[in-house]
Amino acid sequence: MTDAAKLERYARSTICRPVEAVAVLRPANADEVVAAVKTAARYRIPLYPISRGKSWGYGDACPVTEGNVIVDLGRMNRIREVNATLAYAVIEPGVTQGQLSEHLRSRGIALWPDCTGAGPDTSIVGNVLDRGFGHTPYGNRAQFISGMEIVLADGRTLRTGFGHFEKARSSQLFPYGIGPALDGLFVQSSLGIVTALGIWLMPAPEAYSLFICSLKNDEDIASFVEDLRPLRLDGTLRSVIHMGNDLRAISGGMAYPRDQFSNGGALPEDYRRSLRESGGLGAWMIAGGLYGSKSLVAASRREVRRRLARAGRTLQFFDQRKLDALERMSRPLAGVRRVAALRGKLSSLKSLYEMNRGIPSHRFLAGAYWRHRQGLPADLSNADPALDFCGLLWFPPVLPFTGAAVEEFLALARPIFARHGFDFFVTLSSVTERSLGAVMTIAYDQEDAREVAAAQDCANALCESMMDAGFPPYRISPHFLPYLARGSDTYWDVVAEIKQALDPDQIMSPGRYQPLS
């Protein structure tokens, strides 16, 4: 495709950094990818592969550099295999979260995929290759893959692990194979085009319970983190636990109230507090899942209650039976204003419950529209923050899983947001048992040039501050590429040497996860 209007749509970006491609290719299978790559290598045309192009806040579908041909892999959406016995699937990059979830449920396969809050239409492979994380015990997604199929810059096809042995029967079961494990080279890199990978799925447990904990006071998050860490380390809690501040929940049901604050800026603290009180929210809202046999989940609930229930915390557990009962109780009074608000809250709770068992929802895209001038779309099922010109910059530093590190992080981040006039959105997620991903969002108005500039300044200040404190990010958009060079020279020298060996003509994704020279 070379149509100007289509190229412009691919160039739209939430990070306000539109880079237009010279053309877009949409291959239908791996053979067509090989043919495209061989042609690109012959004429030294740079390619920029995308899975679905919905990496909102991290670069969307835009190439990093000018002059690229986008390789849109969205048509490659085959679920090549599902093995119900050994609990894995082999999928192509165009397979979405919603597609895999529906495939398993419609066929009665008792396996759950992990999913993120980015909605049903986003790619699983694309998220995995950027080290994204979800919610279930399989939420640290890059750890639950086995066997990649990759087209290299010269057109050769590489199969990692045991995949290069023709008769191997454990390619999707044992990720390392024999010899050097190569899979990691193709995660957050520009070394090839992944055309398929094996991903492990979670056997549907006998019992599952969602827990929600609300913290009354903002300053109580550090002590909560201290209480939470042992539960992750000893395996009582196996899922990724998400701890969002109040604005994360508030932005799920409304956009920035321009009618009350026409001059913009961060919400006043008293107004923010009133939104918490009217919505029944805490200063922090925490969510996680308990999974296993009925007896194990019951025991885990007792242990979580014993170790997390404290003054200033409200701890609740929800299973399907309880959610159904709440639905029945609220239905007869649906017209009453107060009950209608409760039903809205119940709807959000049900979406969260579903997401923690691998069923994605469009509902959580609402936060992307916080500063959008038209507010929340009437129908989030068709929402696309990039196409709708939402302004989003994500910055996710990684912290040690300690209360002290959280306090230090918050003391650094909050003044930067305030100084630049933005609301402070943050979620602390227990990506591993020993670390937290502190995902911050700068939500801004793309139609206001001053606000765009302030957002970019805010992002730079955040990155400077976090790098200096020893909290580098686990994932970045092209906006932050200049900061990659701060890493070890030896590390980036080795990365460059591998790039030179596999892609000497810089055909594959030039500039992606490469420090600017």
Please state the pTM of the whole predicted model: 0.95
> Given this model, what pLDDT does residue 329 score?
81
Helices (runs of H) and strands (runs of E) counted in the chain: 13, 18
Residues ≥6 apart with Cβ < 8 Å to 149: 30, 157, 158, 159, 163, 194, 195, 196, 197
398 and 436 in contact (C-beta within 8 Å)? yes
Residues ≥6 apart with Cβ < 8 Å to 177: 160, 161, 162, 163, 164, 171
pLDDT classification of 347: cutoffs 50, 70, 90: confident
Q: pLDDT (tens digit, 9 = 90+) per residue, 425-439?
A: 999 999 999 999 999
Residue 241 has pLDDT above 70, yes or no: yes
pLDDT classification of 488: cutoffs 50, 70, 90: confident
505 and 191 in contact (C-beta within 8 Å)? no
Segment 21-36 mean pLDDT = 98
> Given this model, what pLDDT does residue 263 score?
84
- CA-to-CA distance for 460 and 449, rounded, in angstroms? 17
Q: pLDDT (tens digit, 9 = 90+) per residue, 213-231?
A: 999 999 999 999 999 999 9
- Parallel, antiparallel, or unpaired: how do β-strands 88-91 and 69-72 relate? unpaired
The pLDDT > 70 percentage for the chain reads: 97
The CA-CA-CA angle for residues 161, 166, 169, to 5°, reads: 65
Domain ranges of the chain: 75-203, 207-265+283-364
Lowest mean pLDDT among 85-89, 472-476, 513-517: 513-517
pLDDT classification of 343: cutoffs 50, 70, 90: low
CATH topology of domain 75-203: 3.30.465
Segment 47-62 mean pLDDT = 96
Segment 505-512 mean pLDDT = 96
Look up tokens 């899983």; give the residue: 401
CA distances from 306 to 223, 301, 451 (A): 15, 8, 46
Q: pLDDT (tens digit, 9 = 90+) per residue, 272-282?
A: 999 999 989 99
> Given this model, what pLDDT does residue 204 score?
98
User: Which of residues 426 and 489 earns the better pLDDT score?
Assistant: 426
Rg of the Cα atoms in the chain: 23
Segment 111-133 mean pLDDT = 97
User: Helical H runs in 309-402?
Assistant: 320-330, 337-355
Positive or negative, the Cα torsion across 320, 323, 327, 328? Answer: positive
266 and 246 in contact (C-beta within 8 Å)? no
> Given this model, what pLDDT does residue 336 score?
52
CATH topology of domain 207-265+283-364: Vanillyl-alcohol Oxidase; Chain A, domain 3 (3.40.462)
Lowest mean pLDDT among 245-259, 338-352, 401-415: 338-352
- CA-to-CA distance for 314 and 215, rounded, in angstroms? 7
> Given this model, what pLDDT does residue 330 score?
74
pLDDT classification of 487: cutoffs 50, 70, 90: confident
pLDDT classification of 155: cutoffs 50, 70, 90: very high
Lowest mean pLDDT among 143-157, 303-317, 323-337, 447-461: 323-337
207-265+283-364 has the same fold as 75-203: no
DSSP assignments along 180-216, one per residue? S--GGGGSSSSS-EEEEEEEE-EEPPSEEEEEEEEES
- CA-to-CA distance for 289 and 239, rounded, in angstroms? 6
> Given this model, what pLDDT does residue 489 score?
83
> Given this model, what pLDDT does residue 327 score?
85
Residue 385 has pLDDT above 60, yes or no: yes
Look up tokens 């992944």; give the residue: 194
